[in-house]
Structure 1
Amino acid sequence: MMKRLLIVHHTPSPALQAMYEAVRSGAGTDEVGGVEVVSRPALTASAVDALEADAYLLGTPVNLGYLSGALKHFFDQVYYPCLEETARRPFGAYLHGNNDATGALRALESITTGLRWRAVRPPVVVTGEPDRSDLERCWELGAMAAAEIGEV
């Protein structure tokens, strides 16, 4: 049975678009089989999307030191419907900001700890324009999340 990796993202900038594309490319690598990659904008991703997924990748800008309202909206929609059903599922995250991401990381950790999701690796945080190494880290994040549920 094919496993599903759900990418929930809020991608309002060229920097986040580049990070998203790198994550999606890594998630869809030929090195990992048996994984369907599904992308949903954070404002339209639903509890059904989350329940149907076996793992998650979350992408967000850091706005005023916090998660984007769009990603927070996603968590508000899925928290109670998914609380028991999605416990222990793997996730990864990538964040982009122009300065400090501490508050956004704290919120992400608090929410995902509440959901009892488990990180496949620490979040990729990029400040300023993403360079080649940042995009490689995004690609690796996508590939690791897929490998966590797929056939390597």
Structure 2
Amino acid sequence: MELMANRLAEGAVKEKNIAVTLKKAADTKLDDLLNCNGIAIGSPEYFGTMAGMIKDFFDRTYEAAQKKTIGLPFIVFVCAGNDGRGAITQIERIAAGYKWRKVQEHTRIVGTPTEQNLVDLEELGQVLSAGVDLGIF
């Protein structure tokens, strides 16, 4: 998961006008969410669901951020042993509660990421950054 997040961030930093911060869910605070212009949520899928720390992040920020982050551009990337759809569905439902805006199809990687998967994640990060930078998202 960390490798996937790093590759996505490598793509995001290619847009020079965008500051990119890579954080683990446990270290991400409400202010981080309130001060971002776009967000990529990455999670492994455990037992058909998102990681508990991702849910914890949502629980800690929802009440205070929900009305202040309406329309926030977001993307999701998930790695899974055999499916990944459950984690994506859960994150999408929570994002709908925040009223965030999905700006790209989410990435679901089953098994060990291939080099092509990592290249695709890098491109996804760059797309998110470029869209935010250009005001498209």
Tell me the TM-score normalized by structure 1.
0.84
Aligned pair partner of 1:140 in 114, 123, 126: 123
CA distance in 2, matches of 1:76, 1:44: 14
**Residue of structure 2 in register with 1:3 after alignment:** none
- For the 8 Å contact 1:90–1:118, the answer to whether it is kept is yes
CA distance in 2, matches of 1:75, 1:50: 10
Unmatched 5+ residue regions in structure 2?
none
One-letter amino acid matched to 1:19:
M
CA RMSD of aligned residues (A): 1.3
> Following TM superposition, by how much is the alpha carbon of 1:141 offset from its aligned partner in structure 2, in angstroms?
1.2
- Give runs of aligned pairs for residues 49-60 of structure 1, distance below 5 A: 49-60=32-43
CA distance in 2, matches of 1:141, 1:80: 29
CA distance in 2, matches of 1:151, 1:21: 23
The runs of at least 4 consecutive aligned structure 1 residues that moved more than 3 Å come to: none
SS of the residue 1:59 aligns to: strand
- For the 8 Å contact 2:85–2:108, the answer to whether it is kept is no
Aligned pair partner of 1:94 in 77, 80, 94: 77
- For the 8 Å contact 1:88–1:118, the answer to whether it is kept is yes
CA distance in 2, matches of 1:149, 1:86: 14
Unmatched 5+ residue regions in structure 1?
1-15
CA distance in 2, matches of 1:86, 1:39: 19
1:150 equivalent to 2:123? Answer: no
Q: How many residues align?
A: 135
Aligned pair partner of 2:87 in 101, 104, 111: 104
Aligned pair partner of 2:96 in 95, 110, 113: 113
One-letter amino acid matched to 1:119:
K
- For the 8 Å contact 1:51–1:82, the answer to whether it is kept is yes
Tell me the TM-score normalized by structure 2.
0.93
Percent identity over the alignment? 27
The structure whose residues are more often strand, as a share, is 1
CA deviation digits over 1:61-107, x for unaligned, max 9?
Answer: 10111000011111111111111110001011111110121211210
SS of the residue 2:94 aligns to: helix
